């Protein structure tokens, strides 16, 4: 690749970054917001909707950063103690793999 081609390639990538920046509060920014939520989490657990509702009813905070995805993801932040007492929950590796992306409802534990 010549230098001129590299410059052209870099500028094209920056234009995409600029578009992503303008999208940060719009549709495409949904992935950015979802990743930020996961990055703040020490643990993630796939849970079902009744468990999600119960956790919110217990006072744990829901997070709307999964709402922009299709299908939307429900996220609730819980404590490590509460995570240890979850039943019917599947612990997830903290990476964007098929298991994480396939989970519709997530309980996250923040770093201390």
Partner 1 sequence: MIQQLEQSADEPSVWVPRALCSLVIEVNFIGQDPAIVDPMETYEKPDDRLPLMVFGPLSLLIAGTPIVVDGMRIPVPRLAGSVLEKLVTDRTGEKGDRDLLVVIGLLSMITDADYDELQHIYDATSPELRHAIRSNLAILSLIDARPGMPDPRPQRAAVARLLARLEAP
* E strands in 50-102: 61-63, 74-78, 90-92
Q: Does 39 bind partner 1 (CB under 8 A)?
A: yes
Contacts with 32 (C-beta within 8 Å, 6 or more apart), sequence order:
20, 24
Q: Does 101 bind partner 1 (CB under 8 A)?
A: no
First and final CA of the chain: distance in angstroms?
A: 46
Instruction: Closer to partner 1 by CB, 12 or 57: give it.
Output: 12
If one counts every other C-beta atom within 10 angstroms of the C-beta of residue 78, the result is 24
Assigned token pair, 104: 């519709």
Q: Does 4 bind partner 1 (CB under 8 A)?
A: yes
Helix (H, G, I), strand (E, B) or coil at 97: coil
Q: Does 80 bind partner 1 (CB under 8 A)?
A: no
Q: Binding marks (x or -) toward partner 1, 6..35, rule CB under 8 A?
A: xx--xx-xxxxxx-xx--x-------x--x
In the complex, least distance from residue 111 CB atom to partner 1, rounded to whole angstroms: 5
Provide the 8-state DSSP code for 27.
Answer: S
Question: Given the rule CB under 8 A, which residues bind partner 1?
Answer: 1, 3-4, 6-7, 10-11, 13-18, 20-21, 24, 32, 35-36, 38-42, 94-96, 110-112
């Amino acid at each position: 690749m010549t230098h001129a081609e590299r410059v052209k390639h870099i500028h094209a990538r920056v234009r995409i970054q600029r578009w992503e920046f303008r999208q940060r509060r719009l549709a495409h920014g949904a992935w950015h917001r979802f990743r930020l939520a996961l990055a703040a989490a020490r643990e993630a657990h796939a849970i079902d909707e009744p468990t999600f509702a119960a956790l919110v009813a217990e006072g744990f905070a829901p997070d709307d950063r999964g709402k922009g995805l299709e299908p939307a993801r429900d996220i609730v932040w819980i404590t490590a103690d509460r995570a240890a007492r979850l039943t019917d929950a599947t612990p997830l590796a903290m990476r964007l793999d098929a298991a994480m992306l396939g989970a519709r409802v997530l309980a996250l534990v923040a770093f201390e």
